[in-house]
Amino acid sequence: MRASFRVFILALSVAVTMLSCNKSANQPGATSQATSKRYDLKGKVVSIDKRANMANIDGEDIPGFMGAMTMPYVVKPASELDKLAPGDAITADVVVQGDDSWLENIAVTGHSSAASK
């Protein structure tokens, strides 16, 4: 009887270990990283809202994602906003993860004085 009880405990331990490993692979952080998409954005800074960590960007077409439009984007990290000014031409990555989207890797390609006509 003791041997069968030990086998039962061992089988139960293996099952619990396998289930816990499987749960960590299916956690929201791991799944959402795999489902995020990135798109190249070219545009012009219209305005900046540092309190909301957002920049309003007049963006060109993003093939396979959306047409040209002006819209607000969350900027990550928020410190990237410090290098932007209205009128600046930029490139950036639009990251889309589920219902969330934000800008990363922002590069100023022309400053407001050079971008104004």
pLDDT digits (tens, 9 = 90+) for 53-110: 999 999 999 999 999 999 999 999 999 999 999 999 999 999 999 999 999 999 999 9
Q: Which residue has the tokens 């489902």?
A: 35
Spatial neighbors of 47 by CB under 8 A, at least 6 apart, are 55, 56, 86
Going 72 to 73 to 78 to 79, the CA torsion angle's sign is negative
Q: Specify whether the CB–CB gap between 103 and 94 falls below 8 A.
A: yes
Full residue range of the structural domain in which residue 61 is found? 36-115
103 and 89 together in one domain: yes
51 and 19 together in one domain: no
Q: Indicate the number of domains in the chain.
A: 2
Going 91 to 97 to 98 to 102, the CA torsion angle's sign is negative
Q: Which of 23-27, 29-33, 38-42, 61-65 has the highest mean pLDDT?
A: 38-42
What is the structure's pLDDT at 54? 97
What is the structure's pLDDT at 112? 73
